[in-house]
Amino acid sequence: MNKTKTISRALLALAFIVAGVNHFRSPEVYLSMMPPWLPAPGLLNAISGAAEIAGGIGVLIPRTRRAAGIGLVLLLIAVFPANIHIALNGWPGMDIPRWVLFARLPFQLLFIAWVVFSCDLRKSYPYSK
Angle in degrees, CA 56, 122, 8, rounded to 5 = 40
Q: Cα separations (Å) of 96 from 32, 40, 86, 93, 101?
A: 13, 26, 10, 9, 7
Rounded Cα gap, residues 109 and 111, in angstroms: 5
Q: Does residue 127 have a pLDDT over 80?
A: no
Rounded Cα gap, residues 99 and 49, in angstroms: 27
Reported as a single tens digit per residue, the pLDDT across 104-121 is 999 999 999 999 999 999
Q: Domain limits of the chain?
A: 3-118
Reported as a single tens digit per residue, the pLDDT across 41-78 is 999 999 999 999 999 999 999 999 999 999 999 999 99
Rounded Cα gap, residues 116 and 111, in angstroms: 9
